[in-house]
């Protein structure tokens, strides 16, 4: 009886050991989400941290909004960044030092005169965008302020055609995805042949629903390679970065007011009429843009330079058309005709919109006669000599 008892104890101990080893291995192999000590901040964190990189203005119906510095070709969730798949869905990894805030909290909206501006919010998300799937393409566009996730899944919700960014579906996982955007002149055609991606995830800890984007299996099918789910680690200082195969992100709980009941305000608020219009930014940036032989500034984030694509001609076309300015901005010095076209282009455009009416060209009553100049005959033609 004693030998049997010892044997049983040994077998049970072995089972417990192997079970513990299996659980430990699973904990290391599966993506995990590590939380740091819970941090809670107010809107004052946004006002203070983003001030060096843009201007806070008071905008009608929104209150304080932030207009980033930089060129007028900037587009949220398009310039200086790329996508990674995390446990919360497709997450935008920005190269900007303020990207932890403006791409994961709040929403973006567009003004025809001043360009893109950011409206702060108190809910963290992997990316506040709407996703679409078209044969051969994935596309996304920033969600406007006040738009709920359920509304974006409906067929009646539309974003500006120029707000959409499309890439070939096989390029969605590239770290240099900004080099592969499709020319926005093709947006209407792609949108009209696309469907809304309705994948979402509920985060019970934060009481928020996220739009997760394309299905992982679908992306693996079109890219012909495995897509790893990146683990997330919360950090205690503002910022976000990829390190050792995991995404380190600062995502505190945000409150609209401070703990003492006071309403946060930016330290400096610029009047809206003092902000330089996007068209003037375009002219200034073209004059100040360095030549191709001049290296870019070290502090300016640049996308990766390695491009691996079998379609070289298509890639060169994408490189020439990355982040074109909105159509409402003139690309040449203004004249009478360009100012008229600018006012016409400032109207919102959506897919399936009627074609623009072109002004009739003046017709001539009769085509101009072609005047042919006849040569006068030679007075004394030379005589032919016979040999």
Say how many CA atoms lie within 13 Å of 234 toward its Cβ.
13
Sign of the CA dihedral running 92, 96, 102, 107: negative
Give, in order, the Cα–Cα distances in Å from 310 to each of 64, 170, 219, 357: 46, 12, 19, 40
Of 202, 203, 230, 196, which Cα lies nearest the Cα of 216?
230
Per DSSP, 230 falls in state B
Express each pLDDT in 277-313 by its tens digit. 877 765 433 333 333 333 434 443 433 333 333 344 4
Q: Tell me what the pLDDT averaged over the chain comes to.
A: 75
What does the block give as tokens for 124?
């963290």
pLDDT tier for residue 71 given thresholds of 50, 70 and 90: confident
**pLDDT cut 90: percent of the chain above it:** 50
Give, in order, the Cα–Cα distances in Å from 345 to each of 82, 168, 259, 328, 348: 30, 27, 46, 5, 8
Q: What pTM, to 2 d.p., does this model score?
A: 0.67
pLDDT of residue 377: 52
d(CA 352, CA 192): 7
**pLDDT cut 70: percent of the chain above it:** 62
What does the block give as tokens for 246?
């995991």
Express each pLDDT in 226-282 by its tens digit. 999 999 999 999 999 998 889 999 999 998 887 777 889 999 999 998 988 877 765
**So where are the chain's domains?**
29-288
**Position 153 pLDDT exceeds 50:** yes
Of 130, 214, 212, which Cα lies nearest the Cα of 172?
214
- Full DSSP string of 5-29: HHHHHHHHHHHHHHHHHHHHHHHHH
Express each pLDDT in 323-349 by its tens digit. 444 444 443 444 434 333 443 444 445
143-152, 159-168, 187-196, 234-243: least confidently modelled range = 143-152
Express each pLDDT in 43-67 by its tens digit. 999 999 999 999 999 999 999 999 9
Express each pLDDT in 355-364 by its tens digit. 554 554 544 4
pLDDT of residue 24: 43
């Amino acid at each position: 009886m004693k030998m049997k008892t010892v044997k049983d104890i040994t077998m049970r101990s072995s089972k417990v050991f192997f079970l513990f080893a299996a659980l430990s291995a699973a904990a290391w192999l599966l993506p995990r989400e590590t939380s740091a000590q819970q941090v809670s901040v107010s809107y004052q964190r946004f006002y203070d941290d983003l001030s060096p990189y843009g201007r806070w203005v008071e905008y009608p119906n929104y209150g304080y909004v932030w207009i980033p510095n930089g060129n007028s070709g900037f587009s949220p969730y398009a310039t200086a960044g790329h996508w990674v798949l995390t446990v919360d869905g497709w997450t935008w990894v920005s190269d900007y030092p303020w990207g932890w805030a403006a791409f994961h909290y709040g929403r973006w909206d567009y003004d025809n005169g001043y360009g893109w501006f950011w409206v702060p919010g108190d809910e963290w998300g992997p990316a506040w965008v709407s996703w679409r799937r078209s044969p051969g393409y994935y596309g996304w566009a920033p969600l406007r302020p006040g738009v709920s996730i359920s509304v974006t899944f409906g067929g009646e919700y539309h974003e500006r055609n120029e707000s959409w960014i499309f890439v070939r579906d096989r390029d969605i996982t590239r770290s240099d995805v900004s080099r592969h955007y499709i020319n926005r002149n093709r947006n209407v055609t792609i949108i009209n042949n696309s469907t809304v991606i309705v994948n979402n995830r509920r985060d019970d800890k934060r009481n928020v629903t996220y739009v997760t984007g394309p299905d992982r299996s679908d992306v693996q099918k079109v890219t012909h390679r495995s897509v790893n789910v990146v683990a997330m680690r919360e950090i205690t200082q503002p910022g976000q970065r990829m390190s050792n195969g995991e995404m380190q992100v600062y995502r505190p709980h945000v409150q609209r007011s401070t703990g003492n009941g006071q309403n946060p305000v930016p330290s400096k608020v610029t009047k809206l009429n003092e902000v330089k219009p996007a068209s003037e930014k375009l002219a200034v940036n073209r004059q100040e843009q360095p030549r191709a032989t001049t290296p870019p500034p070290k502090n300016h984030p640049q996308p990766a330079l390695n491009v691996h694509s079998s379609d070289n001609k298509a890639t060169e076309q994408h490189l020439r058309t990355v982040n074109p300015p909105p159509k409402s901005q003139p690309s040449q010095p203004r004249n009478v005709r360009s100012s008229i076209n600018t006012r016409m282009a400032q109207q919102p455009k959506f897919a399936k919109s009627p074609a623009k009416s072109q002004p009739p060209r003046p017709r001539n009553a009769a085509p101009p006669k072609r005047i042919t100049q006849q040569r006068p005959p030679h007075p004394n033609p030379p005589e032919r000599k016979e040999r």
